[in-house]
Structure 1
Amino acid sequence: MKPIWIVDDDQSIRFVLEKALAREDLPVRSFTNPRDVLTALDDDEPQVLVSDIRMPGGSGIDLLSKVKARLPGLPVIIMTAYSDLDSAVSAFQGGAFEYLPKPFDLTKAIELIRRAVDESVREDVADERLQQMPEMLGQAPAMQDVFRAIGRLSQSNVTVLITGESGSGKELVAHALHKHSPRANGPFVAINTAAIPKDLLESELFGHERGAFTGAQTMRRGRFEQADGGTLFLDEIGDMPFDLQTRLLRVLSDGQFYRVGGHHPLKSNVRVIAATHQNLEDRVRQGVFREDLFHRLNVIRLRLPPLRERREDVPTLARFFMQKSAKDLGVEAKRISENALARLMAFDFPGNVRQLENICHWLTVMAPAQVIEPKDLPPELMGVAPLAPIQPVAELAPAVAVVAPSTASVAVPLVSSPSAGPYAPPVVLPVVSPAAVDLPAVRVDGFGAPPVAVLPVAAAQNGWISDLEREARGLLDAGQTDVWDQLTRRFEACLIHTALDLTRGRRIEAAQKLGIGRNTITRKIQELGIDD
């Protein structure tokens, strides 16, 4: 790991932070003025920069702006006096990760630096992914199916029908189909058939001759002519007026059409890609969409999954949109905490990817700090619980047998809240009792399957909170003075032990599952004496 840089002209501050960081096994490098920092940046760079705000030879705010210009993603912590409100505001406006008031509590200062380190490590990985960002994003199985279909169609000119909810990215798929087709060098022309009045749509599609109707003072080429040699994307095809469907069917059948008011047939050399959020089979049954046109369009059908069916893609998409919004607005990109991402993943997103992009744009403008926490999310997400509630044990259906390490257990199905949808992130139930030293975890059998939580039998019958209360009361009655430390250490050991068991000892993966940084889990393993 790269070192943490401390910039302060006060030797006592540097000494205290150096010693404290050394105890945490964090590399550190100290400077007395901003000038030396800027010189050192020519050959090296820090993981986190901690700088005083007032020093001989330069201001911490000026240093912040210069460092951010060279390393936009570097977390910078500004140290400032309690009364120096203007400096604190300037620090945040300049893109500081956080500010540390002087005099500061050393433990809290180290916690803040560790949080900045964890955030920096996550952002390093995210930045690498963003630099290699493809034109479309998606690790979910349903999206991988779409990518494979695009690949198979790359050498074809066949008509494609794209279905999916509004905002799921249908036009993006159409662009990809065109880009990877033999017609890639030709034009890509898109038209939303639902956004154009019926009286104008025919002229938009097929063009018109001069004098064809009142106001037609010149000849106009329609979208079919504009897309000659390329691809015509007909969005929301399910809303096309019934009489125009006949003309579209004729073009698809024999490749010829007439301009409005024209008498000479024109040849169409266009690949048609259509899209709709509606169920065309239902539209056919209702008599508002021609069955023969449906079969003509439905040669190859691609279904785009809604975002709630690909929740694992939300973090990647959110980070991408945060970077994109920051670039568009010319500001420092903000970061989303793991807790905020968990709440985003629990949201159903009726507007799908488009809604997520809008939320990220809102956060870029409205979130008060550089790191976005759950409290900073827009109002529509505030009522979303990131964890699914559990039914009382007496109301549960028969459980599925699951083996948990080192404890007798029963499997308890989890119930998703209506707001979170059926794919809410699984719940890890903490169990603290004298008889349970290992925390059983959630096991999910395939994406979309009901999560299953494993609880010790005693905890399932009496409630783990009651066990915790009884143990705490017993220790307090016995006059113990370290009750907090005892129970907290046992609880942390249970969490880490179970996460390591699930990941077969892989610390980084275990840290990700627990929502903590890899340095934090390493330190905790050493402190708690856990054998991984």
Structure 2
Amino acid sequence: MNEIWIVDDDQSIRWVLEKALTRDGFAVRAFGSARECLAALEDDSPRVLVSDIRMPGASGLELLQQFKTKRPATPVIIMTAYSDLDSAVSAFQSGAFDYLPKPFDLPSAVELIRRAWEESEREAAVEEIVDQGLDMLGQAPAMQEVFRAIGRLSQSNVTVLITGESGTGKELVARALHKHSPRAQNAFVALNTAAIPRDLLESELFGHERGAFTGAQQTRRGRFEQAEGGTLFLDEIGDMPAELQTRLLRVLSDGQYYRVGGHQPQKANVRVIAATHQNLEDRVRQGLFREDLFHRLNVIRLRLPPLRERSADVPLLARHFLQASARELGGEPKRLTEAAMRAMSAFAWPGNVRQLENTCRWLTVMAPAQIVDVKDLPPEVREGGPAGEAANAVRPPVSLRPEATADAGNQPAGGLPNGAARAEVAPSSGAAGLLQPGDWSSLLELEVARRLAAQAPEQRAEGGSELMDQLTREFESTVIGTTLKHTRGRRIDAAVRLGIGRNTITRKIQDLHLEDGED
């Protein structure tokens, strides 16, 4: 499974590729025909298949078709002469990872095969996660913190409040908390309090006795009773009517409740997990949510980050959803080109993970070829669409203007030399003003060049320059200061987001004379 298979009737091509790939550390297996390759496929499979398009017997296209029916997720690279380019494009659209025109530049060919290998490894990682039955995916630090919290709560029955925007996966977290709790063998019952009419919500929660109201022809168990011994998940708790907030508070404090129309108290052995996309503190201040209930629910709070704060997880999630959609709808999973994946990762996803999942379903049905390029993405993703405001909030427009400052030789650590360009937030909201990923390194290159050009002769002498120290301090000040603003001064959160230790960030805040934040 960790080999690269090469199929070509030309022995010299097989030999050259095999030697080059072996030298780069890959295990290689070569075949002289499609028939030999398909026979080997009965007992083994490669990580990447590289095949010529024209061979005696079965062609490379026929091999591609048969291979994809047995190993749909394995990348296939088709080698072709320029005269067969149309056929190669057809193969590309039919599911080939890419095509390699002959004669090829050997380093470029090895690099293409390496990319296919890396793609195969990513697909294998997603399949492994799915096989393990994990409901949530995420490698970003913010999600890793959520996973750690779930682990710490695994043996607890404590009440949990989950906050986060719509579509971030709050119910998945609630189910994970239940699955890894002592109550896992009992029921998990979910209720969206915003989706139930006010008049029916009380009966839905606590049940009712026969004859309690018109239409109550028999006794009915409520969600608390259904979740006995297990977990009750109350979604959109912020929309619960005031009178029901009082009843819920009584259950949480006394462990008892009454069915509608009932006179016998019912005991509630239920763990309550609540979730909301609203700011409950604001609703408490507005008199829309009981403060005592808020404190009962807010024993442990888990905040789920929006997808725009964990954009590094978009490729992992997209591959997972494309595979899941292919299994559900039947067919081979669509694959995103690198450009399409970059566009997906750059999109702000106002609908969060749910919107990404729906987009992958759309691509599974609507994308014209197996390989999905930028032009195949939905317009709102391709063009930015409704994500414009959110994207601007994450990456504010910038303008560059020269700063008239003191001489570079007397420049303080936090300043810029004469004529340097300073990036600052500009009032313009035009897309042309956005600082694109990678632009900061170009600005840094210009800044270093300006400072080197402005150095006095004595600074250029051995040991006379402090340029590296100045740039390092400015870099660290900018990174740590920006992160502290993002976390509202919370040092622990900032350290986690930056991937450094708490002691390290505390020391650097002191050394760099940054404004102190609060934990």
Which residue identity is paired with 2:346? A
Change (3 A) 1:86 1:289: same
Please report how far the alpha carbon of residue 322 of structure 1 lies from its aligned counterpart in structure 2 after TM superposition: 2.2
2:248 equivalent in structure 1: 248
For 2:251 and 2:54, locate their aligned partners in 1 and report how far apart those are by CA, in whole Å: 73
Whichever residue aligns with residue 120 of structure 2, its letter is E
Counterpart of 1:391 in structure 2 is 399
Aligned residue runs from structure 1 range 182-331, under 5 A: 182-331=182-331
For the 8 Å contact 1:80–1:88, the answer to whether it is kept is: no
Work out the CA distance in 1 between the residues paired with 2:381 and 2:110: 29
Could you tell which deviates more after superposition, 81-90 or 324-333? 81-90
Q: Deviations over 1:86-143 (max 9, x none)?
A: 99758744x333467xxx5534899578535412323224413540454322233322
One-letter amino acid of the structure 1 residue matched with residue 234 of structure 2? L
Counterparts of 1:326 and 1:252 in 2: how far apart (Å)?
44
2:6 aligns with 5
Distance (whole Å) between structure 1 residues aligned to residue 420 and residue 123 of structure 2: 38
Runs of 5+ unmatched residues, structure 2: 454-519
Contact preservation (8 Å) 2:8, 2:51 = yes
Shift of residue 43, structure 1, vs aligned partner: 5.6
The corresponding residue for 2:335 is 335
Paired residue type of 1:234: L
Partner of 1:506: none
Deviation, structure 1 residue 306: 1.3
- 2:428 is aligned with 1:427: no
State the secondary structure of the residue aligned to 1:274.
strand
In 2, are the aligned partners of 1:48 and 1:113 still within 8 Å (CA)?
A: no
Does 289-298 or 361-370 show the bigger shift?
Answer: 361-370
Specify whether residues 400 and 116 from structure 1 end up closer, same or farther in structure 2 by C-alpha distance, changes over 3 A only. Answer: farther
Q: CA deviation at 1:77?
A: 4.0
- Alpha-carbon shift at residue 146 of structure 1 (Å): 2.0
Deviation at 1:231, TM superposition (A): 0.3
Q: In structure 1, what is the equivalent of residue 124 of structure 2?
A: 127
Contact preservation (8 Å) 1:411, 1:453: no
Residue type at the aligned position of 1:49 = L
> 3-state DSSP class of the match of 1:310?
helix
Name the SS for the 2:402 alignment partner. Answer: helix
Q: Report the AA paired with residue 5 of structure 1.
A: I
Over 3 Å counting, the alpha-carbon distance change for 1:231 and 1:424 in structure 2 is farther
Alpha-carbon distance in 1 for matches of 2:281, 2:128: 42
AA in 2 matched with 1:119: A
Quickly say closer, same or farther: Cα 1:303–1:88, change in 2 above 3 A.
Answer: closer
Number of the residue aligned with 1:499? none
- Work out the CA distance in 1 between the residues paired with 2:141 and 2:243: 39
Alpha carbons of structure 1 residues 123 and 150: separation in structure 2 relative to 1, 3 Å: same
What's the secondary structure of 1:392's corresponding residue?
strand
Change (3 A) 1:196 1:400: farther
Q: Secondary structure at the match of 2:446?
A: strand
For residue 365 of structure 1, give the secondary structure of its aligned residue in structure 2: helix
- What's the CA shift for 1:412? 5.6
Counterparts of 1:161-172 in structure 2, within 5 Å, are 161-172=161-172
1:56 is displaced (CA, Å) by 5.6
Structure 1 range deviating more: 24-33 or 378-387:
24-33
Distance 2:237 2:127 in 1: 34
SS at match of 2:184: coil
Work out whether residues 336 and 372 of structure 2, in 8 Å CA contact, stay in contact via their aligned partners in 1: yes
Q: How far apart are 1:57 and its partner, in Å?
A: 4.5
CA distance in 2, matches of 1:183, 1:411: 60
CA deviation string 1:470-489 (max 9, x = no partner): xxxxxxxxxxxxxxxxxxxx
**Is the 8 Å Cα contact of residues 75 and 120 (structure 2) preserved in structure 1?**
no
For residue 142 of structure 1, what is the amino acid of its counterpart? A
1:188-219 residue CA offsets vs partner (Å, 9 max, x unmatched): 00000001111111111111122222222222
RMSD over equivalenced CA pairs, Å: 4.1
Distance 1:419 1:344 in 2: 20
CA distance in 1, matches of 2:449, 2:85: 54
Percent identity of paired positions between Structure 1 and Structure 2: 59
* Aligned residue pairs, count: 428
Aligned to 2:344: 344
Paired residue secondary structure (1:455): helix
String of CA shifts for 1:159-182, please: whole Å, max 9, x gaps: 111111101111111111111111
- Are the structure 2 counterparts of residues 415 and 116 from structure 1 closer, same or farther at C-alpha, using a change threshold of 3 Å? farther
Give me the whole-angstrom Cα distance separating, in 2, the residues matched to 1:397 and 1:331: 63
In the alignment, structure 1 residue 369 sits paired with structure 2 residue 369: yes
For 1:350-361, list aligned pairs within 5 A.
350-361=350-361
Cross-structure match for 1:173: 173
C-alpha separation between the residues in 1 aligned to 2:169 and 2:244? 26
* TM-superposed deviation, 1:240: 0.9
Cα distance per residue 1:428-487 (max 9 Å; x no partner): 57xxxxxxxxxxx47xxxxxxxxx73325668999xxxxxxxxxxxxxxxxxxxxxxxxx
TM-score, normalization: structure 1?
A: 0.68
> The residue matched to 1:144 in structure 2 has which SS?
helix
Out of 440, 445, 453, the position equivalent to 1:454 is 445
Match of 1:115 among 112, 119, 122: 112
Partner of 2:96: 96
SS of the residue corresponding to residue 119 of structure 1 reads helix
Q: Which runs of 5+ in 1 are unaligned?
A: 403-408, 430-440, 443-451, 463-532
